[in-house]
Amino acid sequence: MQTKKLPEREQEDVEERDIELENIVGNLMIAQYQVDRLRSRLSDKIGSSGTYKKGSTHTFKHGNKWYKITLILDELAVNRQQDIV
């Protein structure tokens, strides 16, 4: 099997790649996709009828301290011309 040698200019382009930057951009794209998916799931959960609860609590221990996180969810309508503060 023969291998094709890249022209010098193409070899220089390959060597100039910043792998760390490419990984960061890739991770950002994955994170944006995950945020979109989670927003969609949250919207579906709020919009569904039935057993929707207005809040959620999670308690955990880290080190010698206990933490409690409580999330309360409200749906609101915002006029496009209004700023959310």
pTM metric for this prediction: 0.46
pLDDT for 48 beyond 80: no
Q: If we measure between CA atoms, which residue out of 77, 84, 55 comes closest to residue 68?
A: 55
Question: Which segments of the chain does DSSP mark as H helices, in order?
Answer: 8-15, 19-47
Tell me the average pLDDT across 22-39.
Answer: 93
Q: What percent of the chain has pLDDT over 70?
A: 66
Tell me the average pLDDT across 7-36.
Answer: 83
Tell me the average pLDDT across 29-43.
Answer: 89
Between CA 72 and CA 21, with CA 36 as vertex, the angle to 5 degrees is 120
What pLDDT is recorded for position 56? 80
Task: Name the average pLDDT for the chain.
Answer: 78
